[in-house]
Structure formats: structure tokens, C-alpha cells
Amino acid sequence: MSHTSRRRPLTALLPALLALLALWDLRQELQLLADHFTLSGLAFALRAHPLAVLVLILQPSLWRRYRRG
């Protein structure tokens, strides 16, 4: 087995890992929004965690990119 074939499955998991980390970063905001949703709460979550939100928005693109290998 070559070195690149061993590495490919690990990189295929990268989008899932990024999504889990983004959700972990947003966990308190999501809990607050689930308890009492307001537009100002949503706006705060988007402003306070731009990287996590961007990672979640870009998930389809990340899955396509890393599944190809």
C-alpha cells in the first residue's frame, strides 16, 4: 500500500471534523436559539462566530472537494 492511499481516507474525514468543530463552537448559541429564537440572537451568533458559520455554509463544497481525492 502506498503512502498516498493511506492518507486519502484521513483527508476524506476532514469536512466531518470541521463540521463537528464548528458545531462545538456554536453549541451555546444554538442552545440559546433553540430555547428562545430571536432575529437579534441569530444575528449575534452569526457575528460572534463567523468562521464556524462559514465552515457550515461551505460543507457541501468541502465534501465534494475531499471525496474526489
What is the predicted pLDDT for the residue at 7?
58
Number of neighbouring beta carbons within 10 Å of residue 41: 14
pTM over 0.75: yes
For residues 4 and 48, is the Cβ–Cβ distance under 8 A?
A: no
Torsion, Cα of 65, 26, 33, 62 (10° steps) = 0
Mean pLDDT of 23-34: 97
**Is the pLDDT reported for residue 2 higher than 60?**
no
Summarize pLDDT for 13-23 with one digit per residue, the tens.
899 999 999 99
